[in-house]
């Protein structure tokens, strides 16, 4: 018997870090300064030295460059400042050139402002350009088979058109249903509510509960900009069909030592797929998103435990609906999880903002495309926003991309739309089982401009 499918998204609130490239201590002062620091105007700059112990003296010298005002920013508390090898200075290029003459100074670069990561990931795949051309997913729908949704989150703006819950229970496994009505099945308004008692009780992060994952995934695929996050998802005008397919597990060996967790049975996922098929024509469904998975497969799993899933995917393909699946977060270099191993799905791996393959992402010949999946900020339960990592976050970028393509090419098949994404994506080369493999990172704007 297969183990229950595991959440593919890493449940990690994002923390940012910066890596600086060192230059020789005795380099020419001009070579230490970022070319973006121009001769005109003032700049807020990060002045980096060789060791944290050198910050104090370098900062004191910098304060002498322009003595009529304080140009060096206030340092953080001592326990933090002692770990930093830089300080921030605001001034002109000429002033920074004088600071660069210090032998302890390694580099000087702009202290740039960073927008929320979803704002960055959407332009990375060209979705912002697509929106400006009128491709927003209007007239299409995306189904999110996950942990339900925060049904009144402002990011969804009344676009949730149908809901269901298929949440199996098994006392031997210690699993209980998450459906709001307390049963294992529920269809109708509120059926995929991610803020029920069953979702919220006993969660390690009480404000978000156990079922926040689906809201985040839906926000990436089809969220809209709000006062809380000035960033659209990939298809901000698409309709949303959330389906709860997870169950609550208590004191179960499947929770890996945690007292409570949420996991999805294959049967619940398959039931959710069938529900999506039922609504495909009514809502012009473009894609089904499955940010979940389990196991390790280095060859297609179309027979055996993948056969029933393949059959459901085939039904959706016949209606022009793509089934988009996370490859998994085990870091396998030549394997993916189930059900990404099913050959007729669209298997998605994760890259970061620099288009490097995320260390956690499964990859290899079974992968179809990459999409951004590192520190992605999107909607979360309690009308909030958070940044998460995972192939779970990469997958809805692709599900949303299918909505944009489906809006333009209503009668095109999934293979044609996937072909456009793979032909026009940015090639990402990496080593898989000792062999170089290339997989495209999607660029939906380029795909929209290409001929099918």
Contact 32, 99 (CB under 8 A): no
CB 327 within 8 A of CB 348: yes
Provide the 10 A C-beta neighbour count for residue 242: 31
CA proximity to 361, closest of 323, 401, 399, 334? 334
| Catalytic sites, residue numbers | 146, 213, 392
- Residue 112: the pLDDT is 62
Question: Where is 239: in which H helix or E strand?
Answer: strand 239-244
Residue ranges and CATH numbers for the domains of the chain are: 29-110 (3.30.70.80), 116-449 (3.40.50.200)
How far is it, in rounded angstroms, from Cα 68 to Cα 426?
Answer: 50
Q: For each successive 10 residues of the chain (452 residues), what is the average pLDDT?
A: 43 32 51 88 85 90 85 64 77 92 89 49 92 97 97 96 90 87 92 96 90 96 94 97 93 86 86 90 97 92 81 94 96 95 97 95 97 95 93 96 97 97 98 96 97 92
Q: What whole-number distance in Å separates Cα of residue 328 and Cα of residue 308?
A: 20
Place of tokens 């098949």: 413
For 23: left if phi > 0, alpha if psi spans -120 to 50, otherwise beta; the answer is beta
Q: What is the pLDDT of residue 192?
A: 97
Res 3: pLDDT: 43
């Amino acid at each position: 018997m297969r183990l229950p499918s595991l959440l593919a998204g890493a449940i990690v609130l994002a923390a940012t870090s910066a890596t600086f490239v060192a230059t020789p201590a005795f380099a020419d002062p001009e070579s230490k300064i970022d070319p973006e620091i121009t001769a005109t105007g003032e700049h807020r700059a990060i002045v980096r030295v060789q060791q944290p112990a050198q910050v104090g003296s370098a900062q004191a010298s910098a304060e002498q460059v322009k003595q009529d005002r304080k140009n060096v920013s206030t340092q953080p508390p001592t326990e933090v400042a002692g770990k930093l090898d830089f300080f921030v200075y605001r001034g002109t290029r000429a002033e920074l050139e004088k600071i660069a003459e210090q032998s302890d100074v390694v580099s000087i670069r702009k202290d740039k402002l960073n927008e929320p990561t979803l704002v960055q990931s959407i332009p990375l795949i060209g979705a912002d350009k697509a929106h400006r051309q009128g491709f927003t997913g209007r007239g299409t729908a995306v189904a999110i088979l996950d942990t339900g949704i925060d049904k009144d989150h402002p990011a969804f703006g009344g676009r949730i058109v149908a809901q269901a819950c298929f949440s199996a229970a098994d006392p031997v496994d210690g699993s209980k249903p998450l459906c709001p009505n307390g049963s294992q099945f529920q269809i109708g308004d509120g059926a995929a509510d991610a803020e029920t008692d069953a979702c919220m009780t006993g969660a390690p992060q009480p404000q978000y509960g156990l079922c926040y994952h689906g809201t985040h995934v839906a926000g990436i695929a089809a969220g809209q900009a709000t006062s809380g996050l000035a960033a659209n998802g990939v298809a901000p005008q698409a309709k949303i069909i959330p389906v709860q397919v997870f169950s609550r597990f208590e004191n179960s060996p499947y929770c890996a030592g945690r007292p409570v967790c949420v996991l999805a049975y294959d049967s619940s996922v398959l039931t959710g797929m069938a529900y999506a098929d039922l609504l495909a024509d009514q809502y012009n469904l473009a894609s089904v998103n499955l940010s979940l998975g389990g196991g390790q497969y280095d060859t297609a799993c179309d027979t055996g435990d993948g056969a029933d899933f393949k059959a459901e995917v085939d039904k959706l393909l016949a209606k022009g609906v793509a089934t988009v699946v996370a490859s998994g977060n085990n870091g396998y270099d030549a394997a993916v999880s189930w059900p990404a191993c099913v050959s007729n799905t669209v298997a998605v791996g994760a890259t970061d903002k620099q288009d490097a393959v995320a260390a956690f992402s499964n990859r290899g010949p079974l992968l179809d495309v990459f999409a951004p999946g590192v520190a992605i900020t999107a909607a979360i339960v309690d009308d909030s926003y958070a940044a998460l990592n995972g192939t779970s976050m990469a997958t809805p970028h692709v599900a949303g991309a299918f909505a944009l393509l489906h809006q333009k090419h209503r009668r095109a098949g999934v293979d044609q739309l996937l072909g456009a994404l793979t032909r026009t994506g940015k090639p990402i080369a990496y080593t898989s089982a000792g062999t170089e493999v290339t997989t495209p990172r999607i660029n939906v704007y380029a795909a929209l401009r290409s001929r099918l």
